Amino acid sequence: MSAQVTTAPPVRRADVTGRRRRRRHRLLIPLGLAALLLTTTLVTHAVDQPDPGDRGFLSPVATGDDGGSRLADALRERGVTVQRETDTLRALLAARSPAATLFVPAPALLHPDTVGALDSLPSATRLVLVDPPRRVLAAVGLPMEPAGRRWAAQAVGPDARGLPCPLPELRQLGRVAVGLQRYAVAPGGSAPDRFCFADGLALLPRFPESTVLVGASDPFRNDRIDEWDNRAFATALLGGSGRVVWLDLDGPEPPPTFGNGSSGSPSWSPTPGGSTGNGGPGSGTGDGNPGRPGGNADDGSPGGESDGEDEGDSQAGGSDPPNPLWSAFPSWLWALLAQLAVAALLAALWRARRLGPPTPEPLPVTVRSAETVLGRARLYQRAGARDSVARTLRTAALDRLTPRLHLPPTAPPTDVAAAVAARTGDDPGWTDEVLHGAEPETDQDLLDLARALDRLTRTVAPPATDGPPPAAPQPHRAEGDPR
């Protein structure tokens, strides 16, 4: 009669490296998705809103997406003369006579020593500034300030606040993509409330003929001019006088050169506010602002330098224009910080359940040990902590086995496995796998490990009972053993 040999299923060794890799993926995948979203947003914004400092930005000879060659061609088709100038002084002189429209597509590139001369234009000249920064508005003396900026340009209609557009040539247009930068009257300003296109266009009629602030460059660019009514808007705004002086700056303007005008080129006076000598803009001899501090040749102060310096000193001692923190940085930076804050909040919520180990507290009532074990087991199961459960079971089994085998707690695992196998008759390799093997990968592997540890513990260290002694265990033999 042969005894039936029961073979316990072996515990599979887990791939520790693969498990660590899965844990790492749980952290890297959400962060990677957040980084991809931020990158896509920034690239999309950079493509949609080019930098005015880029080469060829709104240049009448640039054929790229950000150039203005298509607008220049459209103006010429309407019989408008387009005169390209790459120097601010020459552009100001060219716009004085005959009447013309001075188009400044990149006011941010103007040098601080020359930007103030824009207010010296004659009354018959229209000045069009595209998305001027706060410093340009303050230097020219325009009682306007930026009132809010969108992430991307919005197509809006000409009516604003229920009132028709103050420019008759723009009243019949449809939607135009100028809703990027809005404008408002500066504190203490007395300019009339003349806005249109949802405050994306501001008209200041008391300055040179009409100074127009346009809040976006989209209607003038090659890639956006055929959208909505952008082409009609740009040509109507610039082509009314029949001649356009186009100030084309490739980059930040260098400081003005100071000369005496003897070489035939216009000389530039260092008068603050942008006044010039030799009959140039702001010299006091023009018809734009005769009261400007330009002086004359008879006062012993050529170009009005001393008067201009006094005025500059008085302006420097006055109150500075408001410069809040959010206007000191580009809008994309604040959008990036907001998205990073949202990503950090989502990561904190995602990891909130693993902030730290549970804190032991005294129970207010006595709970049966079986209920405590069952509740803790359910918590382990919900968290999927099979590795923690396996370590707990193996530690408890070794704490019971080593005293019975007269082994110290620091005994090598191979010695413990050999002593247990000698007592139970099992294979030493299988015993070592049960006591010191890899962590289980599935719940079934964990259940098999618990049963194997229970069998080894009951065989070597049986619990004290009043019943008959347990039956002799059947030896576990390795597979392929002929015995």
**What's the pLDDT at 470?**
54
Q: Is 266 inside a domain boundary?
A: yes
**What's the pLDDT at 301?**
35
Pair 391, 274 in one domain: no
Euclidean distance between CA atoms 156 and 146, whole angstroms: 18
Q: Is 260 inside a domain boundary?
A: yes
How many angstroms separate the Cα of 477 from the Cα of each of 4, 296, 380, 422, 474?
A: 11, 117, 33, 12, 9
Q: What is the pLDDT of residues 359-376, one digit of tens each?
A: 787 767 777 888 888 888
Most confident of 24-38, 268-282, 305-319, 388-402: 388-402
Higher-confidence residue: 255 or 11? 255
Residue 72 has pLDDT above 90, yes or no: yes
Residue 7 has pLDDT above 50, yes or no: no
Residue 266 has pLDDT above 80, yes or no: no
Q: Is 396 inside a domain boundary?
A: yes
**What's the pLDDT at 134?**
92
Pair 91, 206 in one domain: yes
Higher-confidence residue: 21 or 319? 21
Q: Is 42 inside a domain boundary?
A: no
Beta-carbon contacts of 263 under 8 Å, excluding residues fewer than 6 positions away, are none
Q: Is 278 inside a domain boundary?
A: yes
**What's the pLDDT at 117?**
87
The residue among 298, 324, 348 that closes a domain is 298
Residue ranges of the alpha helices (H) in 355-385? 369-383
**What's the pLDDT at 247?**
96
Residue 132 has pLDDT above 80, yes or no: yes
| CA nearest neighbour of 283 among 274, 260, 100, 210 | 274
Residue-by-residue DSSP string for 279-307: T-TTSSSSSS-TTSTT--TTSSSGGGHHH
**What's the pLDDT at 178?**
94
Pair 152, 260 in one domain: yes
Range of the domain at 427: 371-460
**Strand runs (DSSP E) across 7-64, as ranges?**
none
Query: Domains in the chain: how many in total?
Result: 2
Residue 165 has pLDDT above 80, yes or no: yes
Q: Are strands 201-204 and 195-196 parallel, antiparallel or unpaired?
A: antiparallel
Confidence of residue 307 (pLDDT cuts 50, 70, 90): very low
Q: Is 37 inside a domain boundary?
A: no
The residue among 242, 265, 298 that closes a domain is 298
As separate numbers, helices (DSSP H) first and strands (DSSP E) second, the chain gives 12, 9
Confidence of residue 189 (pLDDT cuts 50, 70, 90): confident
Q: Is 30 inside a domain boundary?
A: no
**What's the pLDDT at 63?**
94
Q: Is 346 inside a domain boundary?
A: no
- Give the residue-averaged pLDDT of 101-105: 95
Q: Measure CA of the first residue to CA of the last residue in the chain; give whole Å.
A: 14
Q: Provide the residue count of the chain.
A: 483
Higher-confidence residue: 400 or 257? 400
Q: Are strands 210-214 and 126-130 parallel, antiparallel or unpaired?
A: parallel
- Give the residue-averaged pLDDT of 308-336: 55
Euclidean distance between CA atoms 154 and 170, whole angstroms: 17
Residue 292 has pLDDT above 70, yes or no: no
Euclidean distance between CA atoms 135 and 186, whole angstroms: 13
Q: Are strands 243-247 and 81-85 parallel, antiparallel or unpaired?
A: parallel
Residue 109 has pLDDT above 90, yes or no: yes
- Among 23-32, 161-170, 171-180, 351-360, the minimum mean pLDDT is found in 351-360
**What's the pLDDT at 365?**
77
Pair 207, 97 in one domain: yes
**What's the pLDDT at 291?**
34
Q: What is the pLDDT of residues 86-97, one digit of tens each?
A: 999 899 999 987
> In the numeric block, which tokens belong to residue 43?
């690239």
Residue 230 has pLDDT above 70, yes or no: yes
Pair 377, 293 in one domain: no
Q: Considering the entire predicted model, what is its pTM?
A: 0.54
Residue 333 has pLDDT above 60, yes or no: yes
Average pLDDT of the chain?
A: 77
Pair 160, 288 in one domain: yes
Q: Which residue has the tokens 């006076």?
A: 269
Kindly report the backbone phi and psi dihedral angles of residue 303, in degrees, each rounded to the nearest multiple of 5, phi listed first: 75, 0
Euclidean distance between CA atoms 18 and 447, whole angstroms: 22
Pair 117, 260 in one domain: yes
Q: What is the pLDDT of residues 392-439, one digit of tens each?
A: 999 999 998 988 888 888 889 889 889 998 888 889 889 899 999 888
Pair 278, 376 in one domain: no
Residue 149 has pLDDT above 70, yes or no: yes
The residue among 282, 298, 314 that closes a domain is 298
Pair 80, 179 in one domain: yes
- Among 204-208, 259-263, 465-469, 470-474, the minimum mean pLDDT is found in 259-263
Pair 142, 269 in one domain: yes
pLDDT-above-70 percentage for the chain: 71
Euclidean distance between CA atoms 351 and 387, whole angstroms: 19
**What's the pLDDT at 191?**
60
Confidence of residue 76 (pLDDT cuts 50, 70, 90): very high
Beta-bridged to residue 154, according to DSSP, are 179
Pair 264, 385 in one domain: no
For 32-36, the CB contacts below 8 A with 24+ separation are 34/339, 34/343, 34/346
**What's the pLDDT at 297?**
34
- Give the residue-averaged pLDDT of 110-127: 87
Q: For residues 319-354, b (16+ Cβ closer than 10 Å) or e, as one string?
A: eeeeeeeeeeeebeeeeeeeeeeebeeeeeeeeeee
Confidence of residue 81 (pLDDT cuts 50, 70, 90): very high
Q: Which residue has the tokens 């053993």?
A: 481
**What's the pLDDT at 187?**
86
Instruction: State the virtual CA torsion across 193, 199, 201, 207 in degrees, nearest 10.
Output: 20
> In the numeric block, which tokens belong to residue 62?
């640039």
**What's the pLDDT at 45?**
64
